[in-house]
Amino acid sequence: MKKNKSAIIIVIVIVIVLIVLFALPRINNPDRETVKSWKENDVNCLPSHTNAAQHIHPELRIVVDGRDETLPVNTGIVRSCMAEIHIHDASGTIHVESVLASKTFTLNQFFNVWGKTLEREGFTLEMTVDDVPNSEFDNLVFRDKQKIELKYTKING
């Protein structure tokens, strides 16, 4: 009887330790809301670069009133994972990766991962893709080696 009681206590302690080790960090994850907003926009979290069936690199340049704006380093990368759309450095190269080869991603999804919107109050926006004017804006589907330029000009008023 005493042996069974000890075994039950040991099992309970092991379960509690496992909960503390695995569940608590997820519950207390400060990036939980960020990752949730990505998922709401059909952008999943990848634990690493391995097993990617798709890996393309469009380039994004943002010009505001004639000045280049640098994209923030590590956009889309949080402690626990990286978004399927992310940036490693300030070069403007967007890494689009997915375990699904046929999945498409849009400029709107990138801006969501960044936590911004494409529109900027008080500015007009012109977009070119591979040096050709383009009006797809949020709906632009990323392609490999695509060169996207967003040109914001302050509205005179």
On the question of pLDDT at 157 being above 60, the answer is: no
pLDDT (mean) for 59-66: 97
Instruction: Domain ranges for the chain, please list them.
Output: 2-30, 34-154
Question: Confidence band (pLDDT; 50, 70, 90) for 91?
Answer: very high
Count of alpha carbons within 13 Å of 71, Cβ hemisphere only? Answer: 25
pTM beyond 0.85: the answer is: no
* 35 close to 71: Cβ distance less than 8 angstroms: no
Q: How far apart are the C-alpha atoms of 111 and 104, rounded to whole Å?
A: 15
- The predicted-structure confidence for 97-142, as pLDDT tens digits, reads as follows 999 999 999 999 999 999 999 999 999 999 999 999 999 999 999 9
The residues near 110 (Cβ < 8 Å, ≥ 6 apart) are 60, 85, 94, 142
- The CA angle 97-56-113, to the nearest 5 degrees, is 50
pLDDT (mean) for 6-19: 74
